[in-house]
Chain A
Amino acid sequence: MIASVVIGMTVLGLAGIHQVVTVTVMLVLFGTLPIGVSDLALMQAGLLGWAFSSMTGLSAVSVAAASTMFSVPLERIAYGPNIRFVTLFGLLGIAVVTGVNWMILQ
């Protein structure tokens, strides 16, 4: 479920859906379901998803700002090498948050 939040937000961000929308749906949906995820882990998963959506999302303010300020086409920044970083750090981040959730629930 933690991975669903992070990956879902990131993929929808890549498709152009703003993270304000995805984080609202994800936190309410998974915060309501009895799925064995602590609030702390769920919130951190949402923040991870937000970070990745900001880094690679087509509707993210930060991508548009970076594009304007550095004179680089918007989609080159969104769909550039940072996708590799998002993938690798995403996996690590999900593992860390899952570990924290496991410790909380023990």
Chain B
Amino acid sequence: MPGSGRLPVDDYVLFALWIMAIVRIFWPHPQLILASGIVLLTYVVLSFRRIRRQLQILSLLLALTAVALAGWLGAWAGLWQGMEKAVIFAAFFGTLTLMRATADLRPEIGRARKLVEPLSAGARTSGLLVGTNVLGTALVVGVMPIFAPIVGQDAPYAVRKSAAEACQRGMCLACLWSPFWLAMAISTEHLPDVPLWQIMVLGLLLCALGLTVAQLMYTPDVGMRALWQALRAFSPVLPPVALSAAAVLGLKAVTPLTTLQCLVVGIPVLCIGGLLSQSIDHLRRAASQAAQGVGAVRGKSRCYPARLPWAMFWSRPSRQVASAIRSLPWRRRQLP
């Protein structure tokens, strides 16, 4: 619990998972991959009893379906592979909490918060929609720890919920055209004949349509002028965010890492550098806050690491189904 001193055992397990996942990216030794899978399984068991009953039921249903599918397809090894694959997502939350802790201590966030405070609720929502859409193109989910501190963790529940929903709308629409999302990588893997520029142009048009629909649905009273003011209120965070995006994209360009791996590896380095440029005390405070923040993953989204191994398991049967479909006798008519 934040502020309650000693952390529960499962928080230490989650922290260990984060470190193992980062090391695994550079040194994917089979023993280490196996060990990280075991640590995640331990975390799943430890955390299961603390999640809400509805989510316990959902996790159990996913697990049972995965086990039934494994038995049906004879893909028992896939169950364990799902566990090992899910480790990177657990590690990603460690990076997000460090990013959030860093953002809380950076002066740019304080300046942006002061500029955002006087805005109307509609203008703020509108600014979050467009801001997360633009930055989500490169930073993907990494935009959340940047915008959340601007809204403030002491803001009323309704404000936080509305902001989270607006961020979700804006960021998720970016995947319609962004080449940095996993969605594009998987899609081009399965449909390699589609030129990237075509899908990006069509996706951009759809993204613009989506933003317009969202604007008309949720903030119809916010005009272009108010939207521009809202976007200007976020401007203090632009330089560090641009640096983060450039670092992630640069890392992606020179390494074979995925965007998610680049975020997990690159962002902590930037966070530590940024905090050290302020003072060693800032680094200490952020480290302490991040440790408490791992507890936030426990408290609010513990169910996520608990569910993910089962959700990820499905990727193996889905690939088996994909192979089976490809081997069917019919051939698809060649289309443009």
| Interface contact B173-A51, CB-CB below 8 Å | yes
Given contacts A46-B183, A68-B300, contact A89 B214 (CB under 8 A): yes
Q: Which of B246-254, B273-281, B301-309 contacts A (4 or more CB under 8 A)?
A: B301-309
Instruction: Flag whether A98 is at the interface (Cβ < 8 A).
Output: no
Q: Would you give the shortest CB distance from B67 to chain A, in whole angstroms?
A: 15
> Which chain A residues border B148 with CB–CB below 8 Å?
69-70
| Interface contact B301-A74, CB-CB below 8 Å | yes
Please, how many angstroms separate the alpha-carbon atoms of A23 and B322 in the complex?
A: 11
> Which chain B residues border A50 with CB–CB below 8 Å?
175, 181, 183
Instruction: Flag whether B153 is at the interface (Cβ < 8 A).
Output: yes
Please, how many angstroms separate the alpha-carbon atoms of A19 and B187 in the complex?
A: 11
Across the interface, B191 reaches (CB within 8 A) one of A16, A27, A76, A104, namely A27
Across chains A and B, the number of contacting residue pairs, with CB separation under 8 Å, is 224
| Interface contact A16-B62, CB-CB below 8 Å | yes
| Interface contact A25-B183, CB-CB below 8 Å | no
Instruction: Flag whether B199 is at the interface (Cβ < 8 A).
Output: yes
Q: How many residues of A contact B (CB 8 A)?
A: 66
| Interface contact B191-A89, CB-CB below 8 Å | no
Within B91-144, the residues touching A (CB, 8 Å) are 92-93, 96-97, 100, 141, 144
| Interface contact A74-B300, CB-CB below 8 Å | yes
Contact flags A57-88 to B (C-beta < 8 A → 1, else 0): 01101111111111111111100111011001
Across the interface, B93 reaches (CB within 8 A) one of A54, A64, A85, namely A64
> Which chain B residues border A82 with CB–CB below 8 Å?
165, 168-169
Please, how many angstroms separate the alpha-carbon atoms of A82 and B296 in the complex?
A: 24
| Interface contact B173-A33, CB-CB below 8 Å | no
| Interface contact B330-A72, CB-CB below 8 Å | no
Instruction: Flag whether B45 is at the interface (Cβ < 8 A).
Output: no
Contact flags A25-36 to B (C-beta < 8 A → 1, else 0): 101110111101
Q: Summarize B's interface: helix, strand, loop or mixed.
A: helix
Given contacts A24-B322, A69-B148, contact A77 B206 (CB under 8 A): no
Within B221-251, the residues touching A (CB, 8 Å) are none
Q: Would you give the shortest CB distance from A84 to chain B, in whole angstroms?
A: 7
Please, how many angstroms separate the alpha-carbon atoms of A19 and B311 in the complex?
A: 9
Contact flags B321-336 to A (C-beta < 8 A → 1, else 0): 1100110101111011
Q: Nearest residue in B to A54 (C-beta to C-beta)?
A: B172
Please, how many angstroms separate the alpha-carbon atoms of A105 and B333 in the complex?
A: 12
Instruction: Flag whether B255 is at the interface (Cβ < 8 A).
Output: no
- Beyond contacts A18-B312, A47-B203, A77-B165: 12 other A-B pairs, Cβ-Cβ < 8 A, are A28-B321, A39-B191, A47-B176, A51-B173, A51-B175, A58-B307, A67-B301, A70-B144, A75-B55, A89-B210, A96-B205, A96-B206
Binding site for B on A (CB under 8 A): 16-25, 27-29, 31-34, 36-40, 42-44, 46-48, 50-52, 54-55, 58-59, 61-77, 80-82, 84-85, 88-89, 92-93, 96-97, 100, 104-105
5 interchain residue pairs of minimum CB distance: A69-B148, A70-B164, A28-B322, A50-B183, A64-B304
